Structures are given as structure tokens and as C-alpha cells.
Amino acid sequence: MEPPTSPPPTKLLIRTYACKLSAKKVKLGLLKLVETSPAFNESWINGEFDVGSRIGGLHQYGDIIIRHRTVHAKSELTIEHRAGDDALAREIETLFEKSLTPKAPRMVKGNTRPQGMAYFFEMIRGSVLKHKVLLTDSVIEAAHDLDFDDYRAARSKLEFLRKLPRLSPFDVHDDPRLKKDFQEAVVVHAKPKVCLYQGKKLALTHKLSVPAEWDTCVLTLHFAILPGFKVLIGWVEERQF
């Protein structure tokens, strides 16, 4: 029998608990932990409100996201982190362990993937799309803050981006939906977002909107077209319409 293999250090993990503490007490505990624990010597904490905190660090594989939710008088705490930051996540768990009871995370209906666009984009990184649609780490980090959850709409637009570098106006002329997406995606924006790619700054001169079918939320993909008929998505954000 082969020994179990460890997940890659950048893989997203989530810990979910029933929580007896208020959001304020969790926030105060996190602030003190980051300030005093040697494990967090080169880390910092952000988050304006008690219900959410983001811990970043110079030597972390990614940000650690801590969320406190209360629904129907029952509170839940989640810790989302990269596998390589498991020791730091365990420090947080140990701090509150007397008030926490582990529970199953919220999953996408009919799927084994946790809810949230960060996990969706991580899944895309491991799919066949990865050969033509590249996603930076900054996309995963930004996706933690998104409320957008129309995964089918997002997947459809990513499939379109996979084809985009080879498309011409003639190819989309007879399809109003494709024509609209094509006309939006080929516009070159004068003040683009910028990301790091292969150690260099890359201007994300193109955008594509992804409206949610059942909500008023619109996801925006900021991307660049690379040699080899590839697309690099370097930033995502959302807005209401």
C-alpha cells in the first residue's frame, strides 16, 4: 500500500466549526495572536469588521481568511488557508478550540467542492482549460472576497476566453451573444489593471463581464492575451448593476 501523499502547498483548504464565541471576541483573539505569537512574526492582519479577517505574511503561501457567520442564532467560524500554511491555521484553531466544534463545510450543491469562487478558480486551474486560460494567484486571493456564485455563467465565459485568441469578427457574426462578448473582450483599455507574471509586470488590457443569471451581481475578468493563443486572467472583481 502506498503512503498517502500530501496536498501541494498552494492547495486551498477550509476548516469549519460551530462557534460559541461572538465575532468581536474572535477578532480580538486574532489581533492578539498575530501580535504576540512567534509563528506570526512576519504576518499582519486586515479586516475592518469583526466578522471577517485576512492574515497575510511574507512567508505564507497565501492569505488566511477567517469568517464568522451567525444564522438563526447559530454561529459558524471558517478558516480558509493554503495547505502549506496548515501550522498557522492550527495555531488559530488551538486559540479558540474550547469554543469550537468541527463540522462539514458548505459545499456546492451536487459537488464535492466548497462554496466560493476561490475554490471554483482553483478547480479551473486543474481542468482542461488550464492549457489555454491561465489564472494567477492574485485571482484566487481576490476571489475570496466575491459574493458572485453563478459558476455555470463563469465557466461559460472562460470557455469563450479559451477560443478568443483564434476568433475573428466573421466567426461571431451570426451569434448575437458571442458577438457581444467578442466586442467587449477585444477592447484595449487605456488604464488597465496590472499583475505579476513570470516575475514581470503585465498589463491586463482586456475585460470581460460575467452577469449572474439569478442575481444583480456582475463579475469582471481582467485579462491579457499571450503568445500561443493563450489568455491570462490576472484580476477579478464584482459590481452590482
**pLDDT values of the chain reduced to their tens digit, one per residue, 241 residues:** 555 677 899 999 999 999 999 999 999 999 999 999 999 999 999 998 999 999 999 999 999 999 999 988 899 999 999 999 999 999 999 999 999 999 999 999 888 899 999 999 999 999 999 999 999 999 999 999 999 999 999 999 999 999 999 999 999 999 999 999 999 999 999 999 999 999 999 999 999 999 998 878 999 999 999 999 999 999 999 998 7
Statement to judge: residues 133 and 212 lie in one domain: yes
Set of cell numbers at residue 49: 469588521
CATH number for 65: 3.30.310.80
Cα–Cα distances in angstroms (integers) from residue 132 to residues 91, 163, 164, in the given order:
39, 8, 10
Statement to judge: residues 71 and 122 lie in one domain: no
Its pTM stands at 0.92
What is the total count of domains within the chain?
2
Nearest to 240 by CA among 224, 220, 226: 220
